Amino acid sequence: MTHRRMICLLLALAACAALAGCGFSVSCDNSTPAQELVSEVYDSKLKDALVDENGVCRFDTLDELAEHFKLECARAPQEYRQSYEPYAVLLFDDGSRAFVFFDPDSFEIVKCLVVDKFTEHDAMAEKLDELQKSNAAFDEWRALDKYNTGMSTASKMHGHCVAVSDGVLAVVLGNGNNPQVKMTDFMSDEDLFGTSLPDDRIACDLYTVWPLLPIDKDFNN
């Protein structure tokens, strides 16, 4: 184990220990399928109770969320890289999943994705080409937000970290009502959870990637 990996692992363990003491008990597990960790699969109608019409989580902290949903599956991808954010997984009876990203120190919820499936990056790249060729409006590009597992860090351009079944496809859009694609960069899960990618490719001045563990994108697992 490399020195950096050891540091990230210790930070992840510390976050899990703190999580267990923040008003509810749940331990981080990066290797067990969510179906084996959760005791309750929620009615799909409850997705509206989790996020609003814009996909924004209706709860501010994990404590608030835990009053309405059982938090039985938590992941700590920062075991692999310190900049990654931990998240909780909720399952729904229509096969979809919610991924609730949270700050490991304050337990404030920073993002919530509700996804019914992930496509491969080639198919997503084709979708991007279609949007580009049709001179799509910004609101049409916002359809990518449901897969945006990361955050934009630029003020003059929009960075999207689009989760796909085999990794993350970073997409940078320009400003305007009909933004143009300025850059794309595909990062495989193997690279994201390995040691080959430099830090400035994952957390740069345009975006920061918060990847989902591969085990959580395989809905048949």
- For residue range 184-202, list pLDDT tens digits in order: 999 999 999 999 999 999 9
- For residue range 28-77, list pLDDT tens digits in order: 999 999 999 999 999 999 999 999 998 999 999 999 999 999 999 999 99
**What radius of gyration do the chain's Cα atoms show?**
17
Asked, for residue 39, whether it belongs to a domain, the answer is yes
- Do 145 and 42 share a structural domain? no
Cα–Cα distance between 140 and 46 in angstroms, integer?
26
Domain end residue (candidates: 99, 116, 133): 116
- Do 112 and 125 share a structural domain? no
- Do 19 and 109 share a structural domain? yes
Asked, for residue 19, whether it belongs to a domain, the answer is yes
Domain end residue (candidates: 61, 95, 116): 116
Which domain range does residue 126 map to? Answer: 121-209
- Do 155 and 71 share a structural domain? no
Asked, for residue 51, whether it belongs to a domain, the answer is yes
- Do 43 and 105 share a structural domain? yes
- pLDDT for 26 equals 66
Asked, for residue 218, whether it belongs to a domain, the answer is no
Contact 98, 50 (CB under 8 A): yes
Asked, for residue 112, whether it belongs to a domain, the answer is yes
- pLDDT for 25 equals 57
The total domain count for the chain is 2
Asked, for residue 217, whether it belongs to a domain, the answer is no
The CA-atom distances, in angstroms, between 103 and each of 15, 20, 130, 149 are: 9, 14, 35, 14
Residue 9 clears pLDDT 50, i.e. is over it: no
Residues 6+ away with beta carbon under 8 Å from 107? 18, 19, 22, 61, 62, 63
- pLDDT for 209 equals 96
- Do 59 and 18 share a structural domain? yes
Tokens of residue 90, six digits: 């909720």
Domain end residue (candidates: 85, 116, 147): 116
- Do 102 and 137 share a structural domain? no
Residue 220 clears pLDDT 80, i.e. is over it: no
- Per the listing, tokens 């923040």 go with 22
- Do 141 and 100 share a structural domain? no
Bigger pLDDT: 13 vs 93: 93
Asked, for residue 53, whether it belongs to a domain, the answer is yes
- Do 76 and 107 share a structural domain? yes
